[in-house]
């Protein structure tokens, strides 16, 4: 565990017998501990719901009477004691994978930089897959004992919440995050003052302060600039995730890469390995080289040292998706910098120069790739596509990349119901071995009716959740009856239910299934075998075409001819994602190939017995075996630019008509669809171990972190 200065400043005065609630609330460890979540429900169930599962907020809103009453609740105190005993044992490093297998690297530190972290809803500093992956990475690092520290932003306005008014055009609501309601702690320096570090922006110094989030054994340091010491315009710099113009974005990235490194230094941390999750933090390598040159190395030596210990993960298979800045803008922010690196302007710009079709720009992916020994893509297809996309950096040879396919943090995404079922049939310690494929063979021992009944429970829970949200909107006068209908109030818990929920970006083709409305109508409205579709997802506020797609779906959901068999549930986030991936029968994914770098929501679905119906893109080609779900469009790969929409839609309809619907409704005398349940088991068995974050983090460790740490150890300290 890293020793750092983050005292529990925000904590609430509690009597001794329940004082440790403070420790528990301020460590997101509880998020993936079933007993800790039970404890919070036992504490005050209405408050648990009202605060949207935020124990910090629950703590801070307690009255003296509440506190006294809780202190006298003996069963609660006993349970708290048991949970905290486990907590204390787990915060030690005993028995963990990393220190057990690699004791010689116990003192290594891996610094992990990401612009977003999806840890829990109460900390809205993520927008989608990239953030969820970072959050899951840190949670698994805690479970495995990988010595990792995270670096990111504490955005005062977080990511927006989505409202869909009657006209169906998404509205973005930016709510100020009340920092005292989140599980973050101020980072202090040795004198007991707030720790701040200066970052040079143009002609001025901006001060950056940090917050600490505890994620089990791991700490994440989140930066912001919104405090008195900074000018009003600089206080806005970290206000939002992916907001502002290009210049603001560059300033944010300077803070992330350079400010982030300085925060770690100010805390006395000496990371051995530096992992950049996407190019947003790539300025980090410049600061590392500058530091080394300042100790007396030549530029070449410094570059080599930084290169050998850098890891870079790219996530974007579309050239336009990579951050790039005009040279003159970069010059304004770095004219004082290149001298200290032992470079002149020309050589400095060449570090990241990339011709994007219009001209040369300073490209963050190029900067990261040229300065990292370990570069990886996030699925096999994505790695191949990226390697080709960047081949001009390696004189026409594919970029030297490794492929590490994304996974999910199993304890965070498994439902309580499936967890308990697997406890009974895989063994009570199944979570400790969840990346072992042999263990999952035993999923075939689960009696069909048990698995099927659990799935029905999960489905009912999802509908209650959707209806509850609709009721809330109704009470608040936010929606009329048609809008409520479109948000799912008339959905049928017995019908085959297909979910499509993800960021709305055009390449994901949310409206593909509507291509032939008459045909879809026949599928949905079959009175013996009805089918329904649930959609959710946010469009980036600047993405007009994506907002148009949302509007289309919302309008179709209101169309009486489609029989209220379509719903759009607003404000997709981690919590809604949990209910949907667990509750629906089929998870639909139909991006244009090869634009889905990996995707992980289908992995969450499979873990919970939901079947994937997906285009063979991202992670799915590595998992699909013919019996564990369906492949839209088959294996024949069409090239970019060719019309994929018509054939993929045709394939989707055929699969629904001939395979998915018949299999679901083919029931035996007990009302159980044996073939379907068989596929659920096959899907759980094949997907869960291989697409876990545990398998993924072990790969990062063995293929990147350890070789990089060895390179660092082999080098005399500068
Ligand atoms: C898992 C998750 C994602 C990423 O999954 P995709 O398959 O890429 O959509 C995005 N958003 C939320 C809220 C998630 O939970």
Instruction: Give the C-alpha separation, 262 to 342, whole Å.
Output: 20
- pLDDT above 50 (res 2): no
Residue 44 CA neighbour count, 13 Å, CB half: 20
- pLDDT above 70 (res 639): no
Q: 622 alpha carbon to ligand 1 midpoint, in Å?
A: 18
Q: 223 alpha carbon to ligand 1 midpoint, in Å?
A: 24
pLDDT computed for residue 525 by the predictor:
97
pLDDT (average), residues 466-480: 95
Burial of 703 from C-beta contacts in 10 A (0-12 / 13-18 / 19+): middle
- Domains plus CATH for the chain? 8-91 (no CATH), 104-407+698-714 (3.40.50.2000), 414-691 (3.40.50.2000)
Ligand 1, from 117, 129, 131: best to mutate by most atoms within 8 Å of Cβ?
A: 129
Q: 61 alpha carbon to ligand 1 midpoint, in Å?
A: 31
Q: 190 alpha carbon to ligand 1 midpoint, in Å?
A: 40
pLDDT tens track for 324-358: 999 999 999 999 999 999 999 999 999 999 988 77
pLDDT computed for residue 716 by the predictor:
63
8 Å CB contact between 151 and 221: yes
Place 10 in a pLDDT band, splitting at 50, 70 and 90: low
- pLDDT above 50 (res 448): yes
Instruction: Give the C-alpha separation, 239 to 224, whole Å.
Output: 8
- pLDDT above 60 (res 405): yes
8 Å CB contact between 133 and 406: yes
Nearest partner of 368 among 244, 451, 446, 275, judged by Cα:
275
Q: 502 alpha carbon to ligand 1 midpoint, in Å?
A: 6
Q: Among the listed ranges 12-16, 170-174, 684-688, which one has the minimum average pLDDT value?
A: 12-16
426 or 158, greater pLDDT: 426
- pLDDT above 70 (res 6): no
Atom of ligand 1 nearest to the CA of 577: 15
Q: 537 alpha carbon to ligand 1 midpoint, in Å?
A: 9
- How many other CB atoms are there within 10 angstroms of residue 707's CB atom? 17
Q: Report the nearest-CA residue for atom 3 of ligand 1.
A: 129
Q: What is the pTM of this model?
A: 0.97
Atom of ligand 1 nearest to the CA of 576: 13
Q: 611 alpha carbon to ligand 1 midpoint, in Å?
A: 16
pLDDT computed for residue 668 by the predictor:
97
pLDDT computed for residue 638 by the predictor:
63
8 Å CB contact between 553 and 510: yes
Nearest partner of 679 among 698, 659, 693, 696, judged by Cα:
659
Q: 561 alpha carbon to ligand 1 midpoint, in Å?
A: 31
Q: Report the nearest-CA residue for atom 8 of ligand 1.
A: 599
β-strand pairing of 374-377 with 402-403: parallel
Place 13 in a pLDDT band, splitting at 50, 70 and 90: confident
Instruction: Give the C-alpha separation, 126 to 453, whole Å.
Output: 34
pLDDT (average), residues 273-299: 98
pLDDT averaged over every residue in the chain? 95
- pLDDT above 90 (res 717): no
- pLDDT above 80 (res 466): yes
Ligand 1, from 118, 125, 575: best to mutate by most atoms within 8 Å of Cβ?
A: 118
Q: 577 alpha carbon to ligand 1 midpoint, in Å?
A: 7
Place 391 in a pLDDT band, splitting at 50, 70 and 90: very high
Query: To 10 degrees, the CA torsion angle through 414, 628, 564, 566?
Result: 80
As for ligand 1, residues whose beta carbon falls within 6 Å of it are 128-129, 132, 502, 572-574, 577, 599-601, 604
- pLDDT above 50 (res 1): no
8 Å CB contact between 172 and 160: yes
pLDDT (average), residues 176-185: 94
pLDDT (average), residues 219-248: 94
Residues of the chain with pLDDT > 70, as a percent, come to 97
240 or 43, greater pLDDT: 43
Atom of ligand 1 nearest to the CA of 501: 9
Ligand 1, from 31, 117, 132: best to mutate by most atoms within 8 Å of Cβ?
A: 132
Contacts 24+ apart (CB under 8 A), 489-494: 490/564, 491/463, 491/466, 491/532, 491/534, 491/564, 491/565, 491/567, 492/530, 492/532, 492/565, 493/459, 493/460, 493/463, 494/530
């Amino acid at each position: 565990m890293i020793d750092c200065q983050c005292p529990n400043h925000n904590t609430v005065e509690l009597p001794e017998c329940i004082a440790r609630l403070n420790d528990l609330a301020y460590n997101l460890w509880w998020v993936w501990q079933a007993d800790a979540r039970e404890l919070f429900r036992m504490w005050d169930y209405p408050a648990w719901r009202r605060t949207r599962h935020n124990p910090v907020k629950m703590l801070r809103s307690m009255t003296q009477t509440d506190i006294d009453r809780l202190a006298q609740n003996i069963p609660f105190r006993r349970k708290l004691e048991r949970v905290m005993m486990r907590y204390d044992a787990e915060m030690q490093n005993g028995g963990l994978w990393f220190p057990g297998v690699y004791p010689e690297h116990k003192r290594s530190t891996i610094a992990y930089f990401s612009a977003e972290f999806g840890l829990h809803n109460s900390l809205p500093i993520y927008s989608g897959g990239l953030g969820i992956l970072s959050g899951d990475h840190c949670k698994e690092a805690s479970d495995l004992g990988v010595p990792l520290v995270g670096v990111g932003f504490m955005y005062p306005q977080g990511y927006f919440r989505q409202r869909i008014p009657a006209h169906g055009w998404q509205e973005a609501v930016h709510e100020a995050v009340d920092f005292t309601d989140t599980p973050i702690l101020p980072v202090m320096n040795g004198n007991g003052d707030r720790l701040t570090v200066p970052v040079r922006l143009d002609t001025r110094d901006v001060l950056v302060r940090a917050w600490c989030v505890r994620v089990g054994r791991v700490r994440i340091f989140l930066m912001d600039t919104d405090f008195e010491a900074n000018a009003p315009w600089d206080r806005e710099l970290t206000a939002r995730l992916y907001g502002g113009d290009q210049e603001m974005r560059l300033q944010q990235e300077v803070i992330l890469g350079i400010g982030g490194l300085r925060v770690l230094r100010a805390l006395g941390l000496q990371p051995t390995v530096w992992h950049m999750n996407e190019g947003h933090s790539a300025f980090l390598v410049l600061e590392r080289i500058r530091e080394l040159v300042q100790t007396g190395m030549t530029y070449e030596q410094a570059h080599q040292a930084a290169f050998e210990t850098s890891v870079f993960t790219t996530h974007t298979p579309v050239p336009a998706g990579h951050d790039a800045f005009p040279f003159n803008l970069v010059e304004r922010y770095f004219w004082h910098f290149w001298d200290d690196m032992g470079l002149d302007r020309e050589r400095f710009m060449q570090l990241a120069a990339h011709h994007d079709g219009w001209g040369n720009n300073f490209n963050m992916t190029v900067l990261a790739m040229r300065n990292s020994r370990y570069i990886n893509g996030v699925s096999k297809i994505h790695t191949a596509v990226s390697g080709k996309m960047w081949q001009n950096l390696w004189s026409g040879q594919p970029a030297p990349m490794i492929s590490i396919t994304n996974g999910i943090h199993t304890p965070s995404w498994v439902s309580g119901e499936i967890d308990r079922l697997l406890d009974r049939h895989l063994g009570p310690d199944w979570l400790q071995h969840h990346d072992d494929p042999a263990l999952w063979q035993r999923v075939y021992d689960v009696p069909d009716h048990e698995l099927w009944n659990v799935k029905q429970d999960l489905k009912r829970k999802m509908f209650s959740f959707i209806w509850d949200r609709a009721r809330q909107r109704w009470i608040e006068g936010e929606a009329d009856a048609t809008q409520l209908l479109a948000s799912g109030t008339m959905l049928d818990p017995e019908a085959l239910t297909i979910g499509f929920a993800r960021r709305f970006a055009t390449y994901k083709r949310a409206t593909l299934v509507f291509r032939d409305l008459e045909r879809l109508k026949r599928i949905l409205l079959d009175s013996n075998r009805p089918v329904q579709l649930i959609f959710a997802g946010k469009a980036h506020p600047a993405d007009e075409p994506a907002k148009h797609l949302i509007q289309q779906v919302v309008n179709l959901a209101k169309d009486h001819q489609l029989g209220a068999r379509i719903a759009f549930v607003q404000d997709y986030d981690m919590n809604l994602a949990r209910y949907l991936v667990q509750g629906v029968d089929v998870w639909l994914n139909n991006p244009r190939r090869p634009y889905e770098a990996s995707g992980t929501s289908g992995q969450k679905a499979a873990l919970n017995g939901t079947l994937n119906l997906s285009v063979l893109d991202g992670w799915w080609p590595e998992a699909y075996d013919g019996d564990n779900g369906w492949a839209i469009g088959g294996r024949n790969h069409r090239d970019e630019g060719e019309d994929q929409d018509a054939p993929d839609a045709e394939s989707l309809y055929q699969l629904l008509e001939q395979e998915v619907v018949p299999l679901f409704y083919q029931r035996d005398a007990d009302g159980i669809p044996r073939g379907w349940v068989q596929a659920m088991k096959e899907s759980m068995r094949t997907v869960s171990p291989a697409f876990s974050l545990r398998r993924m983090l072990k790969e990062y460790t063995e293929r990147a972190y350890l070789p990089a740490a060895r390179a660092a150890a082999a080098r005399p300290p500068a």
